[in-house]
Structure 1
Amino acid sequence: MIKNGIATYPVLGVSIDMKYEGDGALISKSDKAILPGGPAALAGLKGGDIITKFEGRTINSAEELIVAIRAKSVGDKAVLTYIRNGVTSTATVTLQAGK
């Protein structure tokens, strides 16, 4: 976790809508919701996608997604299940270091 005196933590590279009240974690719909070159962008995720599972674990809220990501390490791969336009899909991401 700490290299060169700097603490690192894994990130997905998305902005999550913390006010979303449905099941799952909604990726914000803004143009800047997906970090270019980040794990989510490389996996093809888009603003408006709803992440419903992380490594097979059901995600009921943004907070649950954050906890699940933070339990992993930078460089770990994780399988996400998400819904886009009513269609359920999966994607594999490689978590990067947050800043």
Structure 2
Amino acid sequence: MSPLADHFLQLAYDPGISPKGGGLPGLAVLKNVVNSINLFCIVAVVGSLAVSLAVWAWGHFTGGHQAEANGKKGATVAAGAALGLGAANGIVAFFSALGSQVH
């Protein structure tokens, strides 16, 4: 074979690696830590949404257009963060399953 064909055969080699639970100690602890971080972030997003909505209302009723715009922006960002935090597990699972189909 030519050196170019050998190179492509090396690129096509399947190492046979796939995710497997229970291979290392501490997986349950790691999952617990990640779940706690997710909960902490969701609580922080609830607080930031409350503050952003208050700033939006305050800017609206006092005629502060800059404050109103910043409140709207903060509420939108907080809603997006809540969406991302809630969907994180599903997004990772979706793309992991999609990636495992690549051959």
Provide the TM-score with structure 1 as the length reference: 0.23
The one of the two structures with greater contact order (alpha-carbon pairs below 8 A, sep at least 6) is: 1
Provide the TM-score with structure 2 as the length reference: 0.22
Q: Give the strand-richer structure, 1 or 2.
A: 1
Q: Give the helix-richer structure, 1 or 2.
A: 2
Larger radius of gyration: 2
